[in-house]
A and B are shown apart, each in its own frame.
Chain A
Amino acid sequence: NAGVTQTPKFQVLKTGQSMTLQCAQDMNHNSMYWYRQDPGMGLRLIYYSASEGTTDKGEVPNGYNVSRLNKREFSLRLESAAPSQTSVYFCASSFLGTGGYEQYFGPGTRLTVT
């Protein structure tokens, strides 16, 4: 099993450009999440998808959109990149149920917006 995979690993964008970050999991998880990680701020939730067909905003959704393409894939789109979106982006997935389940993270995408 590959677990959670993300593409690309690195990306440099100019202000105003758009791009889509791809995420896929092969663990038959229901829920998928997108986080951004900035120095000293931990991991902040951008969007999540509790199950196939649903998406919802997290703590910092402005400037982003998501698509839950199917049970395996969850993409994050930046329509008009800004320098404030320079960050490391992690996708994660988990089972869904009461009591809490481990979230498995992808390897991350390091994005720089100039």
Chain B
Amino acid sequence: GENVEQHPSTLSVQEGDSAVIKCTYSDSASNYFPWYKQELGKRPQLIIDIRSNVGEKKDQRIAVTLNKTAKHFSLHITETQPEDSAVYFCAASRGGETDSWGKLQFGAGTQVVVTP
């Protein structure tokens, strides 16, 4: 089955700096790669996702890049703010094909701390 590795496990950045989280996956058939943000004591929420027909996607200060050949994808947060402090999870999926039914394989998470 799919295996997703996520690095680093913790990331401390100064407010205004950029943060980068990297994930690798093992299943070359994976084609859907979401990123979830989880604030302390709250539920995970989707912040951005990318599909395998796209190499990069941006949404304001957040961007995700995908390299299908190398089987890795990354989350980039620019101009970090204290409210970006949270745990971020990457995930990979075959995107609803009948042999996967949309199941997500999550990475272990990255604790991001933004210090003012």
Q: Which residue of B lies closest to A31 (CB)?
A: B102
Most A CB atoms within 10 A — which of B1, B44, B89, B105?
A: B44
CB pair A106 B95 closer than 8 Å = no
Looking at B64-72, B77-85, B106-114, the stretch in contact with chain A turns out to be B106-114
Are A40 and B102 neighbours in the complex by a CB distance under 8 Å? Answer: no
Tell me, rounded to whole Å, the shortest Cβ–Cβ distance linking A27 to chain B: 14
B93 partner residues in chain A, CB cutoff 8 A = 100
Contacting pair B104 A103 (CB below 8 A): yes
- Do A107 and B43 have beta carbons less than 8 Å apart? yes
- The A interface, classified by DSSP as helix, strand, loop or mixed, is loop
In the complex, what residues of A have CB within 8 A of residue B34's CB? 100, 102-103
- The secondary structure that dominates the B interface is loop
- Please judge, given known A-B contacts A100-B31, A105-B43, whether A48 and B106 are in contact too, CB under 8 Å: no
Q: A99 is contacted by which of B31, B43, B46 (Cβ under 8 Å)?
A: B31
* Complex-state Cα separation, A11 to B85, whole angstroms: 28
What residues of B have a CB within 8 angstroms of the CB of A96 in the complex? Answer: 96, 101-102
A99 to B32, Cβ gap below 8 A?
yes
Please measure, in the bound complex, the distance between the C-alpha atom of A43 and the C-alpha atom of B105, giving whole angstroms.
8
**Would you give 11 A-B contacts (Cβ < 8 Å), ordered by A?**
A40-B9, A43-B44, A98-B95, A98-B97, A99-B51, A99-B96, A100-B34, A101-B102, A102-B49, A105-B44, A105-B45
